[in-house]
Structure 1
Amino acid sequence: MLDIGYSLSRRFPDPPQTDYRSADSRALRHDLFCGDVYLADTAADRELSTAWGWVPVLDFAWALCDIVERLDRDPRGNRAARPQHADLDFTESSDRMLFTRRFGWVDVEADWMARDEPPLTFNHGLLRREARDFLHDLIADLTDMHEGLADNVLVWDLQARFPRT
């Protein structure tokens, strides 16, 4: 099983004067909602997580959904033997999460993992479903905490672009 989660940072709070209703893409993706994220393989009791406190969690959810779709561009889908690659770059560091799809399975590893540690491996369909659920659950949490965010057109577009499956 796959679990994707987050925690918001107390060290990097959002500016109190923020108008979430009109926040632009840059603010939503890079300046607001900082914290940490994780992907966990609950069956194997293994986790890949950040511990920096400054990761923009909405951007992570957004980028993860984009990556899952990018890994599905081969028309052969689960029958595609050629590996498909995508990287998730963290803006304030040189660290990356690396995604490799072979057939219907996605290996997830990160620059900060030990060299001898095997990647986390998830079914592509499960990763798509969980990434989209994570995005929608995160948006629900953030809109409960921040007045006006639910009225932001970019948030509407994001939810429409990646509906729950």
Structure 2
Amino acid sequence: MLDIGYALSRRFPDPPQTDYRSADVRTLRHDLFCGDVYLADTATDRELSTAWGWVPVLDFAWALCDVTEELGGNPPPASGREMLPDSRSPGPFRATLDFTESAELLHFTRRFGWVEITADWSADDEGPLSFSYGELRREARDFLHDLVADLSDMHEGLEANPVVWTLMARFPRLP
């Protein structure tokens, strides 16, 4: 089972004068909410995690949702309705998630209905984490929604930010 989590950094606090209600995309994605993130396979007790303290966690959640859609392999139809990827497609479909201010990457490869995840900073003898595509996609969106709820509880006005509204509408929770 996939667990995605975060911890905010005390070394890199948000500027106290921040107006979260009107923060722009760049500020939300790159300048606020720094900490560390992890992807864990609870069945095998293995994880890929950062220990840098400066990862913008909202940007990570946003980028992870983008990556899962890219891995789908099918463009959305013109009607605007969401098209689920064909799990029988052999792929491979590849995507990377890069970290702001770093050369480190997370690599995602989807074959059939499974996604393997590796990190540039992990040891070569560690195999990839592997999850079903549907689980990764669902958990990425749940993580985004849970993170925004947590951050909104801590930062007045964030829940009223139009960028956050748009983000949440773009990646709704999945059943």
Structure 2 residue aligned with 1:39: 39
Q: Hey, what does 1:51 align to over in structure 2?
A: 51
AA aligned opposite 2:36: D
Q: How far has the Cα of 1:79 moved from its partner?
A: 1.0
| Secondary structure in 1 matching 2:87 | helix
User: How far apart, CA to CA, are the structure 1 residues paired with 2:39 and 2:150?
Assistant: 18
Tell me, in whole angstroms, the C-alpha distance in 2 between the residues paired with 1:139 and 1:82.
32
CA distance, structure 2, for counterparts of residue 54 and residue 163 of structure 1: 27
Please list the CA deviations of residues 38-81 of structure 1 after superposition, one character each: whole Å capped at 9, or x if unmatched.
00000000010000000000000000000000100248621111
- Aligned mates of 2:18, 2:37 — CA distance in 1: 23
TM-score (norm 1): 0.98
Conserved? CA contact 1:36–1:53, under 8 Å:
yes
Greater fraction of residues in helix = 1
Report the number of matched residues.
165
CA distance in 2, matches of 1:91, 1:147: 25
Of 110, 113, 117, the residue aligned with 2:119 is: 110
Deviation at 1:116, TM superposition (A): 1.5
Contact 1:74–1:80 (CA<8 Å) still a contact in 2?
no
Quote the residue 1:125 is aligned against.
134
Shift in Å at residue 82 of structure 1? 2.2
Distance 1:32 1:82 in 2: 36
Aligned to 2:13: 13
Looking at structure 2, the residues matched to 3 and 117 of structure 1 have their Cα atoms a distance apart, in angstroms, of 18
- Structure 1 residue 60 corresponds to structure 2 residue 64: no
TM-score (norm 2): 0.92
User: What is the CA-CA distance between 1:100 and the residue it aligns to?
Assistant: 0.4
2:144 corresponds to: 135
Query: Residue 77 of structure 1 aligns to a residue in which SS?
Result: coil
- CA root-mean-square deviation: 1.0
Distance across 2 between alignment mates of 1:84 and 1:16: 42
Match status 1:79 vs 2:88 = yes
The residue type equivalent to 2:64 in the other structure is L
CA offset digits 1:7-61 (Å, max 9, x no partner): 0000000000000000000000000000000000000000100000000000000
- For structure 2, the residue ranges without an aligned partner over 5 or more in a row are 76-84
Q: Percent identity?
A: 74
